């Protein structure tokens, strides 16, 4: 399916442009990381009763452990080896990533080695590795200029550090309904950004070549946003591979960043008072700088079009989540439809790659009692987007956020297949 596109793209640029793309690879990068030498990633098994949950949460919060994932009876955290004693007396603990593995995985990529690759001869070079922000931006500019009949580069807004939050708009008929696909909310979830790029690339380049894609683009306009949090993404390349939040300042000088997925104004809840925490929600609703830009963008867009669906890509754990996240007591009015489509998405992934993605309501199996202010709930409730989903991509815990680059194309393929399913479902193709 992939074409000899990189050479095509580079062929269309002049030498100066090629050099500027390559030289961004050569910029001096500092060594990682702010993470301390004793860190490891562990999975804690617990009993899921109220006392046990409260006790565990207390330990996690007190020690400011960084939560990577949670399931019904397990929670995965990155923590300091010295903090293990308190946990291991009460809980069964598995080490997922040793200190050495973690240290190796978060190393800054060897930028110089990248420049030695003959990128012009590599058909799918762009998807063979994760790409830094500067390369993604050049690539987006190039792709939209080469396919300018149906692809437009748009600005969603500005980041806190004044970068443009860029997106593609695919399709040019203003009367059509719109589907939004976005990623990069959490900086360290690199696979979400590469997957968005893979989806965009295929939709853009296969239009007028593939009947199924033609139908999709003829039925809907697509807004595709590779990273809503460019400052954070850049920070993960230059300073700290495991950074999660954005980069705005807080009320404490040395603690930076708000968790954008906890700062939306619907059912917002103070996650904790500690702005050093990776899950700091801000002190008030809607303080997240880039999430606020997205809200304004969506509200403006809705003056001219109906947004029928939104998919927000995250990592990891292979789950398809639908509203609500903030609790399981309030039932979304269209729960059956949300469930039905989620199961279809999950099936479309399995048929493509044999990988299992569990579909469920976001509130289920969660001991962290602070899922207020999520984008998923805001999209569904306040923005009234009937089909709102968050998909957590590969893997199921072996590498977590440090997913090897060999997964980029397979993950892209399986999620692209689910996007085709999403479009067909929203178009009513499966109604009898
Ligand atoms: Zn995330």
Q: Record the tokens describing residue 124, joined without a space.
A: 């799918």
Find the 192 Cα to ligand 1 centroid distance in Å: 9
Q: How confident is the model at residue 103 (pLDDT cuts 50, 70, 90)?
A: confident
Return the closest-CA partner of residue 182 out of 21, 375, 385.
Answer: 375
Q: Phi-psi bin for 80: left (phi > 0), alpha (psi -120 to 50), beta?
A: beta
DSSP 190: H
pLDDT at 320 over 90: yes
Distance 377 CA to ligand 1 centre (A): 14
Find the 219 Cα to ligand 1 centroid distance in Å.
Answer: 29
How far apart are the CA of 185 and the centre of ligand 1, in A? Answer: 6
CA distance 396 to 319: 9
* The pLDDT value given to residue 222: 98
At 132-153, the pLDDT tens digits run 999 999 999 999 999 999 999 9
Interval between CA 242 and ligand 1 midpoint (Å): 12
CA 354 to chain centre: 22
Separation of first and last alpha carbons in the chain: 31
Report the alpha-carbon distance of residue 124 to residue 16 in Å, rounded: 22
Q: Contact at 8 Å (CB) between 332 and 324?
A: yes
Contact 388, 336 (CB under 8 A): no
Q: What are phi and psi of 169, to 5 degrees?
A: -110, 120
Give percent above pLDDT 90 in the chain. 66
Distance CA 17, CA 413 (A): 29
| Distance from the alpha carbon of residue 200 to the mean position of ligand 1, in angstroms | 20
pLDDT in tens, 55-90: 888 888 888 888 888 887 889 999 988 888 888 888
Which of 299, 155, 251, 270 lies closest to 259 in space, CA to CA?
270
Q: Ligand 1 center to residue 104 CA distance, Å?
A: 22
- When mean pLDDT is compared across 79-93, 119-133, 271-285, the lowest value belongs to 119-133
Judged on CB neighbours under 10 Å (0-12, 13-18, 19+), 235 is buried
Q: What is the pLDDT at residue 3?
A: 39
Model confidence at 6, pLDDT cuts 50, 70, 90, reads very low
| Distance from the alpha carbon of residue 291 to the mean position of ligand 1, in angstroms | 13
Q: What is the pLDDT of residue 13?
A: 38
From ligand 1's centre to the CA of 186, what distance in Å? Answer: 5
pLDDT band, residue 272 (cuts 50/70/90): confident
- Judged on CB neighbours under 10 Å (0-12, 13-18, 19+), 23 is exposed
**For residue range 113-122, what is the model confidence (pLDDT) as tens digits?**
444 333 333 4
What's the gap in Å between 312 CA and the centre of ligand 1? Answer: 9
By CB atoms closer than 10 A (0-12, 13-18, 19+), residue 122 is: middle
**Which of the 8 DSSP states describes residue 427?**
T
Nearest to 179 by CA among 219, 227, 132, 141: 219
**pLDDT mean over 392-400:** 94
Angle at the Cα of 230 from the Cα atoms of 132 and 374, rounded to 5 degrees: 130
16 pLDDT higher than 60: no
Helix (H) and strand (E) counts for the chain?
Answer: 14, 12
Calculate how far, in angstroms, residue 193's C-alpha sits from the geometric centre of ligand 1.
11
CA of 392 to the centre of ligand 1 (A): 7
Instruction: Kindly give, in sequence order, each residue whose CB lies less than 8 Å from that of residue 219, ignoring residues fewer than 6 positions away.
Output: 176, 177, 423, 427
Å from CA of 23 to ligand 1 middle: 31
User: Ligand 1 centroid vs 314 CA: distance in angstroms?
Assistant: 4
Give me ligand 1 centre to Cα 386, in Å. 21
> What's the gap in Å between 218 CA and the centre of ligand 1?
31
Q: How many residues are recorded in the chain?
A: 432
Closest CA to 153 of 225, 229, 234: 225
Distance, in Å, from the CA atom of 282 to the CA atom of 121, rounded to the nearest integer, reads: 47
Alpha carbon distance 61, 152 (integer Å) = 44
Domains within the chain, CATH numbers bracketed: 39-105 (3.30.70.80), 125-240+282-426 (3.40.630.10)
DSSP string, 279-322: T---SSTT--HHHHHHHHHHHHHTTT--EEEEEEEE-SS-EEEE
């Amino acid at each position: 399916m992939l074409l000899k596109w990189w050479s095509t793209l580079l062929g269309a640029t002049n030498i100066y442009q090629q050099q500027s793309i390559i030289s961004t690879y050569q910029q001096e990068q500092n060594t990682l990381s702010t993470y301390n030498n004793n860190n490891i990633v562990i999975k804690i098994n617990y009993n899921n009763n109220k006392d046990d949950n409260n006790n565990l949460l207390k330990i996690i919060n007190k020690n400011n452990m960084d939560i990577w994932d949670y399931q019904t009876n397990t929670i995965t955290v990155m923590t300091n080896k010295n903090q293990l004693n308190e946990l291991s007396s009460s809980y069964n603990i598995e080490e997922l990533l040793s200190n050495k593995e973690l240290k190796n995985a978060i190393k800054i990529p060897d930028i110089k080695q990248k420049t030695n690759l003959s990128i012009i001869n590599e058909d799918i070079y762009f998807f063979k590795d994760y790409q830094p922000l500067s390369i993604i931006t050049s690539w987006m500019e190039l792709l939209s200029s080469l396919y300018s009949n149906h692809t437009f580069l748009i600005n969603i807004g500005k980041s806190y550090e004044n970068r443009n939050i860029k997106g593609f708009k695919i399709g040019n008929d203003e009367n059509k309904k719109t589907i939004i696909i976005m990623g990069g909310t959490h900086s360290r979830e690199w696979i979400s950004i590469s997957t968005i790029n893979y989806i965009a690339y295929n939709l853009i380049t296969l239009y007028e070549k593939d009947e199924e894609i033609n139908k999709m683009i003829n039925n809907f306009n697509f807004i595709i946003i590779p990273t809503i949090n460019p400052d954070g993404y850049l920070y993960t390349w230059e300073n700290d591979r495991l950074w999660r939040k954005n980069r705005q300042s807080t009320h404490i000088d040395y603690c930076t960043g708000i968790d954008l997925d906890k700062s939306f104004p619907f059912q917002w809840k103070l996650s904790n008072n500690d702005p050093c925490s990776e899950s700091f929600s801000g002190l008030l609703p809607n303080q997240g700088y880039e999430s606020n830009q997205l809200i304004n963008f969506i509200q403006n867009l809705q003056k001219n079009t109906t947004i029928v669906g939104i998919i927000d890509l995250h990592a990891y754990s292979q789950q398809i989540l639908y509203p609500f996240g903030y609790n399981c007591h309030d039932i979304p009015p269209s729960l059956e439809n949300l469930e039905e489509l989620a199961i279809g998405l999950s099936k479309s992934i399995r048929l493509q790659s044999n990988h299992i993605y569990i579909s469920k309501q976001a509130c289920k199996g969660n001991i962290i009692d602070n899922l207020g202010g999520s984008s998923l709930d805001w999209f569904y409730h306040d923005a009234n987007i009937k089909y709102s989903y968050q998909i957590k991509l590969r893997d199921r815990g072996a590498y977590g956020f440090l997913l090897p680059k060999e997964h980029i194309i397979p993950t892209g393929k399986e999620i692209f297949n689910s996007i085709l399913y999403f479009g067909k479902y929203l178009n009513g193709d499966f109604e009898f």
